[in-house]
Amino acid sequence: MHKHHSALGVATALKPAAPVTLIRPQAAARAARFFAEKFPGRSLYAVKANPSPDLIRTLFDSGITHFDVASIAEVRLVSEALDGRGKLCFMHPVKAEEAIAEAYRDHGVRTFSLDSMDELEKIMRATGDATDLELCVRLRVSSEHSELSLASKFGVELGETRELLMATRQAADALGICFHVGSQAMSPQAYSDAIERVRAAIVDAAVTVDIIDVGGGFPSVYPGMEPPSLERYFDAIHRGFESLPISYSAELWCEPGRALSAEYSSVVVRVERRRGDELYINDGAYGALFDAAHIGWRFPVALLREEDSEEELTGFSFYGPTCDDMDHMVGPFMLPADVKAGDYIEIGMLGAYGAAMRTGFNGFTSEAVVEVEDEPMASLYAERMPERRRATVIKLG
């Protein structure tokens, strides 16, 4: 893998003809240390956000030792990446029976989530009625404070929790309740409200609960989406947790994905054509920009030139490289008005779901990865961001 000081250095020195993913291990390590030191409980990395083995090892080395896996493929991936170290929690509420059995038997997984009696029975069959299970019942909660809803597919309704919680309590060595407030939660109130629903479920079922898992949803920062500090989220969660009628030794968990991985990587693309305020670039909806195309997500962008442009910033939309009209990112993405074919652009904050969603559709893909030392384009963790990230390029290998 090549290493460079900066995104600008990659563009000017390599002049890549295909997209290049830039990774910043130092940014991921900083985010991991933040959660490990400041969240008032245990943090599980949600592997689906970015399943890079290098990222997983970086997070582990920086204090994130538990992992939220959602498939048997993710179980195998983390087990191999960490040589069996770390704790894996299979938090998808609907799993294949064979996947449960392999995870339990071959990979030491003891933590599973569920949201139905059918899933509980499946877990017990697949594990041979094991007596060493941590079972987390997923409660349906609102996504009203989040940019992307996760309220419709999974989770048991509050009025239907009693029977499931009581049955799971009988089967489990440790009983948990988990939920997910939706992706990119923009207010700590999302967690406060969800914890109140947890309280109601516990009181209704009158069971002893050992684990409260507040799930994911912790935000990152994007154009037009600047959330409060993560400490405010942690404070709200801690207050709610401390007020619950739970076991004195109960554990508090969370499952950050985006918040741990977004700053880890960005993508350098080349402008292949300009048509008015439309730029044709060599990555898009079927590459790292799925979210920009399909849900209108705006990512930070920067023109990578040795000399700063004096032109005013203008809103552009992007077309990706495929022959599909859906390969269109509306934006607006703010760039100097004189951007032209042959220019390079860095698109930032793609560590979450960028690489994970990439396909090879129409023959367009890229496996080029370069490690850089400069700061990510935005950060919830850096105390002060530089105005312009410029450095002399050094090729290290």
- Mean pLDDT taken over the chain: 92
The mean pLDDT of 354-366, rounded to a whole number, is 86
Read off the pLDDT band of 1 (50, 70, 90): low
- Looking at residue 394, its pLDDT comes to 29
- Looking at residue 218, its pLDDT comes to 96
How is the chain split into domains, by residue range?
A: 2-23+263-372, 26-261
For the beta carbon of residue 285, count every other beta carbon within 10 angstroms. 25
Model pLDDT for residues 96-140, shown as the tens digit of each residue: 999 999 999 999 999 999 999 999 999 999 999 999 999 999 999
- Looking at residue 152, its pLDDT comes to 80
Read off the pLDDT band of 388 (50, 70, 90): very low
Angle at 256 between CA 386 and CA 27, to 5 degrees: 25
Query: DSSP H helical segments within the chain, as ranges?
Result: 7-9, 25-38, 53-61, 72-81, 97-107, 117-126, 161-171, 189-205, 230-242, 258-261, 290-294
- Percent pLDDT > 70 in the chain is 96
Superfamily holding 2-23+263-372: Lyase, Ornithine Decarboxylase; Chain A, domain 1 (2.40.37.10)
- Looking at residue 387, its pLDDT comes to 46
Instruction: Collect all residues with Cβ–Cβ distance below 8 Å to 199 and sequence separation of at least 6.
Output: 243, 244, 245
DSSP 376: P
Which residue, 3, 12, 26, is CA-closest to 303? 12
Superfamily holding 26-261: Alanine racemase (3.20.20.10)
165 CB-side CA count, 13 A: 27
Q: Could you tell me the CA-to-CA distances from 25 to 81, 144, 146 in Å, in that order?
A: 16, 33, 27
Three-state secondary structure of 54-95: HHHHHHHHCCCCEEEECCHHHHHHHHHHCCCCCEEEECCCCC
- Looking at residue 104, its pLDDT comes to 98
Q: Give strand pairing partners of 335.
A: 314
195 and 240 Cβ atoms separated by less than 8 Å? yes
Read off the pLDDT band of 396 (50, 70, 90): very low
- Here the tokens at position 336 are 């100097």
The mean pLDDT of 10-27, rounded to a whole number, is 94
The mean pLDDT of 31-42, rounded to a whole number, is 97
Report pTM.
0.92
- Looking at residue 329, its pLDDT comes to 95
Model pLDDT for residues 229-285, shown as the tens digit of each residue: 999 999 999 999 999 999 889 999 999 999 999 999 999 999 999 999 999 999 999
Which residue, 304, 316, 318, 322, is CA-closest to 370? 304
Point out the catalytic residue in the list 89, 136, 254, 323. 323
Question: Is 323 annotated as catalytic?
Answer: yes
CA distance 353 to 347: 13
Q: Does pLDDT of 395 surpass 60?
A: no
- Looking at residue 124, its pLDDT comes to 98
Q: Tokens 């498939």 map to which residue?
A: 71
11-15, 86-90, 110-114, 318-322: lowest mean pLDDT where?
Answer: 11-15
- Looking at residue 389, its pLDDT comes to 43
CA distance 154 to 176: 16
CA distance 177 to 360: 39
Q: Give strand pairing partners of 211.
A: 176, 251
